[in-house]
Amino acid sequence: MLMYPQLAGRAPGCALHVAQMLEQHRQVRVRLDDIEPVRRPWTETADKAASEALTERYEDLSNLLKVHLRREVTEVIPVVDRVLNEKEMKAVGEHGIGQLDKKFLVSYLGMVLATNPPQDRKELFKEIPPPIRLAYRLVGRRMYRRQYSTLFPGRRIPETL
């Protein structure tokens, strides 16, 4: 969200996209807040009712993220690349990572990567700070796969990296 005020100021033609992206970010936060009270107990009990509730919440979040990330990558990021400098881009990445619980972030990264086409996944992953990339490779991918297969039994686990 750190980039949006700068984007709106430097590329006024993107004001509508900025407003839409900010609203979708608010919706993501609402959904994440809705997931957390179900996810924490579920990780300890794997209760069937909690699993179903969590599945429903993750599917809702996934649907929102698919739309949001696709639009962000195709409509916003190309403009951001033109109007923000490298230092500002680094600050944007660090700000985003600082907003989430690290353990959740590492496993959730799999969900984010899975919503993107393969080439976009690679580009997105390059932008992630090295410690988070390493944590994802060491444990996050496995956490994502385990969580996904438990939440969505019988479904093919979407590829990440």
For residue 120, which amino acid is it? D
Per-residue pLDDT of 127-156, as tens digits, reads 888 888 888 999 889 988 987 887 778 889
Res. 94: pLDDT tops 80: no
Rounded to whole angstroms, the Cα distance separating 108 from 88 reads 24
Nearest Cα to Cα of residue 98 among 120, 129, 138, 141: 129
- Under the banding of pLDDT at 50, 70 and 90, the label for residue 96 is low
Q: Are 139 and 106 in contact (CB under 8 A)?
A: yes
Q: Are 31 and 81 in contact (CB under 8 A)?
A: no
User: What length does the chain have?
Assistant: 161
Global model pTM greater than 0.75: no
Q: Are 61 and 28 in contact (CB under 8 A)?
A: yes
Going from N- to C-terminal start, the domains of the chain cover 3-151
Res. 30: pLDDT tops 90: yes
What's the chain's average pLDDT?
A: 83
Per-residue pLDDT of 45-56, as tens digits, reads 888 888 899 999
